[in-house]
Amino acid sequence: MGRLKAIGLIFFFLGLALLLGMGATFAHTRAFLRNSILAEGRIVGFALPSAQDADGRAVTGRFAIIRFLDTEERTVEVAASTSVSGEGMPGDFVSMRYLPEKPSGAKPDSFGEIWAETLVLAGMGALFSGLGGLLTWFAFRERFQEKRARAYSLEIEARVTEVVRNASLSANGLSPYRIIAQWLNPETNELHRFQSKDIWFDPAGFVGENILIKADARNLKKYWMDVSFLPKVAA
């Protein structure tokens, strides 16, 4: 639970930081739109920056080089910050927006060029904060359920059948373990399967043949597996 909570909080505050950055870029972009002026530019060529993808293959971009005259009749050349404006052809006209005191910061007057940074930060911030909030909620819910389950009246000695990895959860490339146990109800002849909470080390060497389960006598799906005998991982 501690690691899940820590990961959740890290993701949540990272998302929060990204959303704060989004707020700053939103305000900056609003000020830019309010104070900037328009000019007619023309595509004079393309920049073809290259990079490598995750597999080491060359990836080439295509960004328009746009030339225009500012209010002082000075020639200014800028490269589009995204490939949106790179879809045109040399000689095509492009509406440019710039601040009179900083014409070198001009941008094509398009939604994608002007709002790209804000939208990326908003999307990443929402993703990380949402995921972090969800993981933190799961951690606190697990703690609450465990506290409530300790009060269950039915005690079962279940037989440990295996220790497995919980591949649905991963942190730093590692997945936690879960102890799996089962118990045959002699009154109903029904076989019940139980699993422990996530354990961030291999507990196989510390588990005996049986393990204590405390369950709700009215609903055996509500239970708590006692793993308090396991050692604590050193910080």
Over the stretch 40-62, which tens digit does the pLDDT of each residue have?
999 888 877 655 544 555 545 67
**Which residues are within 8 A (CB) of 209 and not within 5 positions of it... i.e. 6 or more apart?**
159, 160
| Nearest one of 145, 79, 143, 74 to 106, comparing CA atoms | 79
The answer to whether the beta carbons of residues 177 and 164 sit under 8 Å apart is yes
Residue whose token pair is 């373990």: 177
For residue 19, give the H/E element and its range. Answer: helix 2-35
At 233, is the pLDDT very low, low, confident or very high (cuts 50, 70, 90)? confident
| Nearest one of 12, 222, 4, 226 to 125, comparing CA atoms | 12
99-124 pLDDT tens trace: 999 998 898 888 888 898 899 999 99
Residue whose token pair is 């990204």: 18
Largest CA distance in the chain: 94
